Structures are given as structure tokens and as C-alpha cells.
Structure 1
């Protein structure tokens, strides 16, 4: 496999005043092309690299205690497309998916030792170049609404110790390209704690313990690249230790 492609990227930021700035950026990403399998007439062909093109504009507002970011973006992703020629199916790289969205995020420290963060995103994902049977439909496995809210609190009585609580929301999404079936939205909660201390030799260490999906909520996930669903992850506990030398 030997293919090449250019992937330019650029960005510009303009500071309006001490608290407000606006920005715009453009970038391209590359993904290796698929190797066509025996289900198609062009079995064994290696498709050219896929290009993803992304535009984004936004503004940032810093009030001292809070940083708010508002952005709008569009991303076009190349993908596979089945074309029929002389009664035979060929897999090509002519497919395209377009994502358009708006995101608002806020992060800050309302008082010393208390940190908050929240974000809300609205996303429309459409099949731009696809089979006629689902051209223009919503992309499967891609919810229109997603949100997260998190609060972290330092424990003053124990230096280096903090606890956190996070809520995650994901809206309904379609299971198939034809937008016939969908899975419902869900809210899950996570708990976490972090302890920072000096280890042997004075090296900084961080001990983390997290529990995801604390209430063990049952839910289904829809896949974005295959018309299928899978069971969401149940209550999961993770402990980790990090150090720096």
C-alpha cells in the first residue's frame, strides 16, 4: 500500500479585548483507504486515503471566574459507497457524510476549591453521498443532542484530595441508515476521587478512583458504521496510579 495526499491546516485568532476573542480554523485529516473484500467485483483493490475536512468558527469569553466558548462547525467525512456497473457491485470511496453542529461550553471556579464544567452540543449528521434509499438521512449511531456537566470539590481537611460528580446525557439515535429504528436517550452518572501526594524520592503521584454509571443504568448503543446495537457498559470501577519522573 503506497498512497499520499496533502492535509493542510490553518487557524486565526483575533482578540477583541481583554475578555473576548474570536477564532476560525480549517483542517484536513487523513485515514487509510479500505481494502475491498470478496463481496465486491473489485476484490483486492486498495481505495485511496479518505479526507476529512473541518471548518470551525467561534468565540471565547473570559470573565475571570468562568471561560465560555461558543462554536459552530462543519465536518465532511469521505467514506465508502457501493456502485453498480453492468450488474456488478463495486466498492468505491465516493461516499460522503456531513456533520454540522453548535457547541457551548462553560468552565470555571466559582469559589476556591470548587470547579465546574458543562457543555451542550447540537449535531446534525447527514448522508450527503449515499445510496438513493438513504440519501439525506441522519447518520446511524449519531445523536443530535449531547451534554455533560461536572463539578469537582477539593477536601480542605486533606491536602491533595478532591472528589467529583459528572452527569452525561446522550440523545436518541438511529440504528440503521434508513432511519427506521432508533435507541432512546440516556443519562448516566459518574463519581470520582483524586489524591495528589509526593511519593518516594519526592516524585509527584496521583491516585485516582472512579466509578462510571454509578446507578448501573441499562441502555443500548447504536453503532455509527454498522446497522447494529450493543449493550451499554454497566457500573464500572477503575483505580489508577500515575507518577512523573
Structure 2
């Protein structure tokens, strides 16, 4: 039976293609459910049984579906890694599957650990079960404490080997957030001289997430102040 995930094309595909690359997840062999977040599914307006009692959904969320529609994307950004500023990072092991609406808001779906992207920088694009369990538990614990963060809808595993200090088994986390856009997306556009795309990205975020800023005398200043306050 076909997957029953209510996904539409990621909203970021409305941005210039310099912002992202289309990707195809790399399949894992014989994936299985490790964890299912029924509470989050309900918050998203989804029936847990429709999501998790479906073999095709398991394959889709493990990066192992035979085809993906809409086409997943990986985005490019700058940032700090290991204490050093890196001009180009990006979604090195994450693929944005699409958007959905439910529970009174919009949600973005992302697979973490689903294989290489153009931004993997010599890495394998995989995640191991050990660290994926940690992310799943910690993100939900932070949510329970009232700290805004990404959420974990599902965790799938496979006996495929992933090599770190030693061989471990693979996993994919389905991450959920209103948006996966970072400060680093603006930094990348700035440091690569794409200054003309900075207002494009700001306009996109104001339209999608901060519509109250549109009526301000200076929408960009209002956007900056709102983001600063919420982050603080």
C-alpha cells in the first residue's frame, strides 16, 4: 500500500536554487521501527495508526522508499563546527522531505541519517543508533521542559554497518520543526557575496513565520528584533 504521509513540496523550494540542492535518500536494508512518537503525531493532527501501521511509511521514513515525491532537498548554510567558523556547511546528512499542516500550524519533516548530500564534505551522511536514540530522547525532554527545539516523530533502525570509532548499526531520525532555517543560512549568503538574496530569505521568513512584522515601518528591523527576543 502507498505511504499515507500528508507531505507537500517543501516551502523552501520557493527560494532561489542557490539555497538548496535536490537529493535522494540512500536506502537502508530491512529497516525497522525503534521508536514512534504518538503524542507528537496527535499534535500534528495525524492519527498514529495511519502513520505507524503502514510498511510503506516505515520505508519512507527510513530513507528506503523506492521513490520520493515531493523531491527531498538539502540546504546550504555557514556556521561553527568544532570551534572553527566554516564558510560552507549545510545539511550533510539531512534531507527535508516536505511540509504538512495540522494542529493549527505548519510542520517541516526532515530525515537525519539518510545518506550523503552535496554538503556532506567527505562524510557518509549516516547516523548511528546510539546517537540517534540520544537525539530522540533529548529533543523530547527539552520540549517537555518548555525549551523550543526540533522534535522527533520517529526513529528507524537497520543492521547496516556504519563505521565510527568502531562498527555500529544505522538509524534515521524523523525530525519535525516549524522551520529548519538557521542563522547560518543568512551567513552563507552574506559570506558568498549573495547580498541580493538576503532580503529574499528575510521576506520568505516574514511571510511564512512572522507575518506580524509585515505591518511594521521597517519589516526587516521588526523581524530582527522578534528573532533576537525569541532566541534570548
- Shared fold (TM-score, shorter chain, > 0.5): no
Higher-Rg member (1/2): 1
Higher helix share: 2
Higher strand share: 1
Relative to the length of structure 1, the TM-score reads: 0.22
